[in-house]
Amino acid sequence: MISLRNLDKFYQQGPDRFYVLRRINLDIREGEFVAIMGPSGAGKSTLLHVIGMHDTAWTGEYTLLGHQVHKLDRKRRMELYKKYFGFVFQSYHLLDDLTVAENLDVPLGYRDIRKSERQAMVADMLDRFRIVGKKDLYPNQLSGGQQQLVAVARAIIANPKVILADEPTGNLHSSQGLEIMELFKQLNEDGATIVMVTHSETNAAYAHRIIQIADGWIESGANAA
Amino acid sequence: MPHQFSRPFAGLKEDCVYGLRQFRRRPGFSLSAIAALALGIGFSTTTFSFTDAILYRPLDIPELDRFVQVAGVDPKIERSSRALAPVDFIEFRQSARTIRELSAASLQVRNLTGVADPVQATGYSVSPEFFPSVRVQPLIGRTFLPEEFTPGRHLSVVLAHVLWRTQFGEDPGVLGRSIEIDGQKHTIVGVMPEGFRFPRAVEYWTPLALNSSQWAFAGDYLECYGRLASGATLEQARAEFNAIAARLASRYPTTHRGIGARVDLLRERVSGDLTATYTRLTAGAVLFLLLIACANVANLQLARVLGRVREVAIRASVGAGSYPILRQILVESVMLSAAGALLGLPVAAWTLALMKAAMPPEIERYLPGWQRMGLNTEVLLATAVTAVGAGVLAGFGPAWWLSRRSVSAGLAESSRAATSGGSRKLRSALVIGETALAVVLLAGAALMVKGFRSLAAVQLNSDPDRLLVWNISLPESKYSSVEKVREFHRALLAEAASAPALSSVALLADLPYSDSSSSRYFSIEGRPAPAGPPDVAQWQPASSRLFSTLGIPLLEGRGIAESDVPGALEIAVVSRQFARRFFPGQPAIGKRIRLQRGEWITIAGIVADTRHDSVERRPRPVIYRPYAQAPPQSAWFVVDAGPNPAQFAPAVRAAIRRIDPSQPVARLQTYRRLVNNHVTGFAYISSMLGALGLVALFLSILGVYSLMASAVGERTRETGIRMALGATAGEVLLAVLRRGALLAASGLLIGLAAALAAARFLAQVLFGVSATGPAVFTAVPAALALSLLLACLIPARGAASTGPVTALREE
Ligand SMILES: Nc1ncnc2c1ncn2[C@@H]1O[C@H](COP(=O)(O)OP(=O)(O)O)[C@@H](O)[C@H]1O
Ligand SMILES: [Mg+2]
């Protein structure tokens, strides 16, 4: 499903090139649950954003479900992203001025979906995550775990094929973290492909495969076993 | 809390130092705030000195504020201000209790000879009270002695400084020498100091020496001035003088019927009603501009205090109270506006210099105070007050907002959450208000500019570039009979026409746009006299070629002919308006009119209406008379001399010299130049208002731009999140533009409503301005909307180009 070939990413600092990702070769199959691990500053988040096509300044080849991403312009890449990906962040990144329900509606607003249908999808999601009672609250009225729950719900509401998660439990208590991981497991079993960056061995244990990365190089786990 | 107020100024110096550090840390912010204030304050200062000079100190006279002018009012005429008759003056002087030191002055245009070239000069004949009431001492010599007001002993003259300089090279030995005024020798007894203009700029003063029958005369030709008695108000004076005028009206029904009195502060009269109104409106426009600049700065300040919410909360939590930081904000904005004022002063000085330099001298003499516009103490003081006021005004909103934050909210808030809610609303409100003010100012300015342009649009049927004009005022002493006057005019017309290029030469009493005009009361044969003052029309003695030279079409009957001489039938040609007004629905030709007790005059023709000056709403009724039957003492000559008429000026001078070498010619110039001078004032106000409007436009664009730029900056994270959730660059751009458009639209709508109201007010107080201008009310908002959208576009593009990676890489 996702295939990276000889992918390099660097920051130009004066005359020096500072490589963040180096000769990345990586394959992820549909329905897989992979964890990316490695020390801080290794390039994990960068890799996730490259896969999520937020980061376009790299060289190499990236194929997504037959689309040659490296040959597409920014606009086409964004379309692909919109179609296939959902993103979960370490610090949730809910919109402070919007209620829970409104936050869930945001991704739908950027897709061609009718208003009535959107309302139904939001209600459905609130139901599924058992947060109906919180739908009119603002993010700062929720605990961290609840906020991340909403963030996950928001990431999957538009039915993405791939969920990208950057340390989704990094700011949570272990019990709250566990709840999120169980949720991911469920989503994966329902067919979603999950690529998750994590520091936690416990969380990594939920994955089918662990990709180790250090100093921009993949150390192990580049291919499915 | 109280202990902080016990020494409210302790630490002020530290505040200033801290403020300076802020300037250095954010120079872009400080510079744009200072620029906005420099424009706002600079233009205010210009207007202060303009208003100060024109409205408050047009004349350099002690206690000018108590000086009044008394005039008659004909209720049938708009903005009527009539001269007084000697009988009126005597009556007013005897009975009035509210006004003291009443003096009379009679304006006269005379020929000066016995000096260098003969020149036309303007002077006043003044009553004995005149100089003592003014309380200005002569530079050399003396003013008039009581005995010099006796007829026969009155041949003394006091020179104005300008005449002393141009004719006598400031020679102090001039006292005792004599000059000829209309051929009569007058002894120079004194010279007034430079800048003494009272009641307006003239070149000399002579005693008003009337015998008892002249004092009993009821014809009006005197101006009347005086000082409000101590304790008396203008209102009391008006009431008293109107009561006296009513008495006079019943005593002299033929001349005074329906005539009232008006008493005005001299400083408002010298500049004229219109000038005063325009000046006040300009001052109002500048106030708007200043408010816009303040809203701008308040907005920038607000953006800045947001970063300090936590600081205030922390200080408050340790018991420091918010007073020091509130004061800090105010000190900072006052420092900003002080810097703005310092930069605004050169702006003002430059504008003033430009205004003075561009004013033609022949106009400037009618604008008392013009050359005294400058950055004097009063103006500087007003500027300082404005600067402090603007600083406090601009700092007050942010300081108020900050003081209303609760401690816990402030502490709990991360810097990003602090930008939400109240402050954003306040900032939006400021930008909306600013935009609304800009709409009012721009629409008002545009309406007024449009009005002035229509005033300044001179309506002529002939090409003023081809016409050469000049004025001849024949002295009554030398040209003492109508025969002599007629003979001079006849000779000059013939002499000029003998040159082939000048063959179209024509004469009339008052040239349109020359600022002179005269009217006569008349009665119509077979009709009873109307109630109130008699019918009145403009009086225009003219020569036969006048209508063709000025391009005035003949509508009915015949024009003026060479054969219309004394002894032939006395005829008149009237304007269409005359015919319509006095002979509605009936033929005017063949009807007869006459001046008081004069001969009957038969109407022989009707010509088209013309515009005589710019502030005329409707064409006035005009009686044209053959000059030979009614020779005017003062006459204008006009000739179509081809594409370069100025080259014939020497030929005209030579022709006049051949007829009477001592007769001066005045205002010999192309008609184009005369007309341009006539509209200079309008052009001035127009360009001033236009400039104010443009600066307002610029400031409101700056305001919207900086609000949107900082809003985009504050929302970088949100933008990143939205893009991570699938928003495209286009959608982000649109979202920013939508926000901007919402702000702009609210401001435009409020502004438009206010502008419509303002327009109705303007149309009421300003002649020539119409309340409805569909073009103005669509073009101004459209232009503003477009500029505001452009102002949003730059920050919007910035927002659209931030990728989610950069935006979200905060942790
Ligand atoms: N804009 C940037 N300019 C230069 N270096 C950057 C930039 N953004 C990230 N980096 C560097 O790239 C490296 C990888 O970052 P990241 O992918 O966030 O690491 P992590 O594995 O902790 O998620 C880090 O060393 C970081 O300092
Ligand atoms: Mg990371």
The enclosing domain of A194 has a CATH number of: 3.40.50.300
- Residue A140 in domain: yes
Q: Does B138 touch chain A (CB under 8 A)?
A: no
Statement: residue B149 has pLDDT above 90: yes
Structural tokens at position A87: 């993103």
Partners of B806 on chain A (C-beta within 8 Å) are none
The C-alpha atoms of residue B316 and residue B320 are separated, in whole angstroms, by 5
Phi (first) and psi of residue A143, to 5 degrees: -75, 170
The closest-lying atom of ligand 1 relative to the alpha carbon of residue A44 is 21
B234-244: average pLDDT: 94
| pLDDT score, position B416 | 44
DSSP assignment of B523-566 equals EETT-PPPSSSPEEEEEEEE-TTHHHHHT--EEEE----TT--T
B809 vs B488, residue with greater confidence: B488
- For residue A187, being part of any structural domain is answered with yes
pLDDT reading at B316 higher than 70 = no
Contact A87 B725 (CB under 8 A): yes
User: Which residue minimizes the CA distance to atom 16 of ligand 1?
Assistant: A43
**Per-residue model confidence (pLDDT) at position B419:** 47
> How distant, in Å, are the alpha carbons of B100, B646, B765 from that of B70?
12, 42, 23
Contacts (Cβ under 8 Å, ≥6 apart) of A119? none
Residue A190 falls inside a structural domain: yes
Q: Is A198 in the pocket of ligand 1 (CB under 6 A)?
A: no
For residue B56, the model assigns a pLDDT of 76
Q: Is the pLDDT of residue B63 over 50?
A: yes
pLDDT given at position B417: 47
Give the count of beta carbons closer than 10 Å to the beta carbon of residue B503: 13
User: How far is it between the farthest Cα atoms of chain A?
Assistant: 56
Q: Which of A74-83, B654-663, B794-803 has the lowest mean pLDDT?
A: B794-803
Could you give the CA distance from residue B33 to residue B741 in angstroms, rounded to a whole number? Answer: 23
Residue B432 · residue B704 · CB < 8 Å: no
| Structure-model confidence comparison of residues A123 and B320, the more confident one | A123
| CA–CA separation, B167 and B692 (whole Å) | 43
Percent of chain B with pLDDT over 70: 91
Cβ atoms of A161 and A193 within 8 Å: the answer is yes
In single-letter form, the type of residue at position B769 comes to: V
Helices (H), B359-421: 361-364, 377-403, 407-412, 415-418
Among B349-353, B565-569, B673-677, the range of highest mean pLDDT: B565-569
State chain B's mean pLDDT as an integer.
85
**Residue B682, H or E segment:** helix B671-714
- Across the range B173-181, mean pLDDT stands at 91
Return the percent helix, strand and coil in chain B, to nearest 5.
Answer: 55, 15, 30
**Chain B stretch 788-807, residues whose beta carbon is closer than 8 A to a beta carbon of chain A:** 803-805
Q: What per-residue confidence (pLDDT) applies to A37?
A: 95
Q: Is B415 on the interface with A (CB under 8 A)?
A: no
Contact A54 B416 (CB under 8 A): no
A78: distance to nearest CA of chain B, Å? 7
Can you give the length of chain A in residues?
225
Distance CA B193, CA B198 (A): 11
Q: What mean pLDDT comes out for the span B20-45?
A: 83
Q: How far apart are CA A49 and CA A53, in angstroms?
A: 6
Per-residue model confidence (pLDDT) at position B311: 67
ipTM value for the complex: 0.86
Q: Are B258 and B265 in contact (CB under 8 A)?
A: no
Strand order in A59-64's β-sheet? A16-28, A2-13, A59-64, A67-68
* Spatial distance between the Cα atoms of B387 and B384, rounded to a whole number of angstroms: 5
Lowest pLDDT segment from B109-113, B367-371, B722-726: B367-371
Give the model's confidence band at A225: pLDDT under 50 very low, under 70 low, under 90 confident, else very high.
low
CB contacts, 8 Å: B414 with chain A:
none
Residue B480 pLDDT exceeds 80: yes
**pLDDT of the residue at B1:** 41
Strongest mean pLDDT among A166-170, B163-167, B603-607? B603-607
Which one has a higher pLDDT value, B263 or A12? B263
- Residues in chain A with CB shorter than 8 Å from the CB of B717 are 93
φ, ψ of residue B559 to 5 degrees: the values are -90, -160
Q: What is the pLDDT of residues B405-428, one digit of tens each?
A: 655 555 554 444 444 556 777 778
Chain A interface test: which of B716, B725, B732 (most A C-beta within 10 Å): B725
pLDDT of B772 reads: 77
Please name every residue paired with B68 in a beta bridge, in sequence order, or none if there are none: B226, B265
pLDDT number for residue A2: 93
Q: Is residue A129 part of a domain?
A: yes
- CA-nearest of B295, B183, B205, B225 to B70 is B225
Q: Does A56 touch chain B (CB under 8 A)?
A: yes
Cα separation of B353 and B357, whole Å? Answer: 6
What b-and-e string marks burial along A147-161, b requiring 16 or more CB atoms within 10 Å of the CB? bbbbbbbbbbbbebb
Q: pLDDT at position B279, please?
A: 77
For residue A20 and ligand 1, the question of a CB distance below 6 A is answered with yes
As a whole number, mean pLDDT of residues B648-660 equals 93
What pLDDT score does B744 carry? 87
Asked whether the predicted pLDDT for residue B655 surpasses 70, the reply is yes
Residue A103 within any structural domain of the chain: yes
From chain A, the residues in CB contact with B725 under 8 A are: 87, 106-107, 110, 154
Residue with tokens 């469920």: A186
- At B319 the pLDDT is 61
Atom of ligand 1 nearest to the CA of A43: 17
Ligand 2 centroid to Cα of residue B805, in Å, is 11
Domain count, chain A: 1
Cβ atoms of residues B704 and B743 within 8 Å:
yes
Residue A152 placed within a domain: yes
Beta bridge partners of A218: A213
Write down the pLDDT at residue B221.
Answer: 87
For B789-795, what is the mean pLDDT?
A: 84
Whether B321 has a pLDDT exceeding 80, the answer reads no
Put simply, whether A118 touches B (Cβ < 8 Å) is no
Residue A84 maps to a domain: yes
Computed over every residue of chain A, the mean pLDDT equals 90
Residue A113: give the domain boundaries. Answer: 2-220
Average pLDDT over residues B183-207: 90
Would residue A225 count as lying in a domain? no
Considering only CB atoms, which chain A residues are within 8 Å of B729?
Answer: 74-75, 78
Q: What percent of chain B has pLDDT over 90?
A: 36
Extract the runs of DSSP E, i.e. beta strands, from B506-652: 506-508, 519-524, 535-542, 554-557, 571-575, 592-595, 601-607, 622-626, 634-640
Point out the least confidently predicted range of A137-141, B20-24, B75-79, B146-150: B75-79
State the residue for tokens 């009337």: B210
- Residue B9 pLDDT: 66
Confidence of residue A161 (pLDDT cuts 50, 70, 90): very high
- Lowest-confidence pick of A60-64, A159-163, B51-55: B51-55
Choose between B11 and B113: higher pLDDT.
Answer: B113
Phi-psi region of B195 (alpha: psi -120 to 50; beta: other; left: phi over 0): left
Contact: A49, B416; criterion CB under 8 Å: no
Q: Which two tokens stand for residue B325?
A: 């930081």
Assess B721–A contact: CB distance below 8 Å, yes or no: yes
Chain A contact for B729 (CB, 8 A cutoff) = yes
**pTM higher than 0.80:** no
Q: In the predicted model, what is the mean pLDDT of residues B284-290?
A: 83
Q: Give residue B415's pLDDT.
A: 42
Contact of A190 with A143, CB cutoff 8 Å: no
